[in-house]
Structure 1
């Protein structure tokens, strides 16, 4: 049974409490779409695929075909369709057990949207809960250099039956702010009582406590803006 739909007791509608996640997969080496995006100005969109026997057929759209043709690691297309302002590429290749999209699909997780930009595969997933998102990230371990959850929209029904949704967009944080938050969290800075103080975390990051405080305050302010903007 799903998490949303009608209540089994009174038949009333209940709000779904699943998540919408934007996942960025860095360092995939066997994906023509990712390879094409390394030379393409702007995202590669319209990504679709299908499987038949031992063949994986993949299709995508690009506005700069010359860039795609120059990109290394992109196999010769099985067919190409010109649509005026963009070109559709289609490739046939052997089914690959390390294909990120196939791994996710085998977890019974449909992919709502797929695109690639600057060598990063960007996927949008609709999942029943956060545990399912953890399963996806764990399954991709070893097939990519890094898997990043760039944003998360989580729905949770309030007592009045109205869905209260929170958007967390990690893309607003700088790499340094993410590192500071991650290190502080890992070391127990946010625990009560704390397992580490500001100086402990600053030392681990090899920065001054005042610099740690500045990065932490900036990151927390951005996250609070995301969480409280609609309230």
Structure 2
């Protein structure tokens, strides 16, 4: 039976890890581009308070071979990036094993990814691949595909933590009991990143509950 797994990954040579660790930017893979290992180009949605700082980090990032700005708004941009030969990527082996990368979002140290895999044996094979590559592999949640569809789950751990913290601190109350800045201090990320996690997490919950009901 197919399953959905949420996994945290970390390694100095994972794609964009140097940029992730040196900036407060929130980075998300534009998911459909992460399933084609042949192109060598990937698209990333970036939320940042300072894009000059982010682009300077890209220039110094040893995992990035080339970058191009594709679209931009005030606090959000989309970049197309190529990776150097030594960059470690998880999406190609996931695809080769018959899996699908559903979502990948930056954490403070690396990536939180949500994957659909054929079975637990495939998950074990992916864990073994990461161990052989020296990639830290921390399994957060695992669901059967039926449970995933029915229960309305599917948040990354980062989105889950941001939403729970925001709710408990009164962010959704009127007047608000906390601010993005205060939440950012608690999570040790930028206010822009917190806002992005709350928006994407809320959108995911709506997709998996209200829209499914309709």
Answer yes or no: same fold by TM over 0.5.
yes
Q: CA RMSD in A?
A: 3.5
**Is 1:46 aligned to 2:29, yes or no?**
yes
Partner of 1:182: none
Pick closer, same or farther for the CA change 1:66–1:132 going to 2, 3 Å. same
**Is 1:125 aligned to 2:115, yes or no?**
yes
Partner of 2:82: 92
Q: Distance in 1 between matches of 2:79 and 2:119?
A: 35
TM-score (norm. length: structure 2): 0.55
Partner of 1:113: 103
Q: Distance in 1 between matches of 2:79 and 2:87?
A: 22
- Aligned with residue 52 of structure 2, among 66, 69, 72: 66
Query: What CA deviation, in whole Å up to 9, does each residue of 1:190-228 have, x standing for no partner?
Result: xxxxxxxxxxxxxxxxxxxxxxxxxxxxxxxxxxxxxxx
Pick closer, same or farther for the CA change 1:87–1:156 going to 2, 3 Å. closer
Partner of 2:206: none
Per residue, is there more strand in 1 or in 2? 1
Pick closer, same or farther for the CA change 1:95–1:73 going to 2, 3 Å. closer
Q: Distance in 2 between matches of 1:79 and 1:97?
A: 18
Alpha-carbon shift at residue 143 of structure 1 (Å): 1.9
The answer for unaligned runs of 5 or more in structure 2 is 158-214
Give yes or no for contact 2:41–2:83 (8 Å, CA) kept in 1.
Answer: yes
Q: Distance in 2 between matches of 1:24 and 1:141?
A: 13
Per residue, is there more helix in 1 or in 2? 2
Q: Distance in 1 between matches of 2:146 and 2:67?
A: 45
Query: Rg bigger for which structure?
Result: 1
The answer for unaligned runs of 5 or more in structure 1 is 1-16, 158-162, 172-231
Give yes or no for contact 2:65–2:84 (8 Å, CA) kept in 1.
Answer: no
Q: Distance in 2 between matches of 1:93 and 1:164?
A: 37
Tell me the number of residue pairs that the alignment of Structure 1 and Structure 2 aligns: 148
Q: Distance in 2 between matches of 1:107 and 1:145?
A: 17
Point out which structure has higher relative CO (alpha carbons under 8 A, 6+ apart).
Answer: 2
Partner of 1:22: 6
TM-score (norm. length: structure 1): 0.52
Where does 1:177-192 land on structure 2 (aligned, <5 Å)?
Answer: none
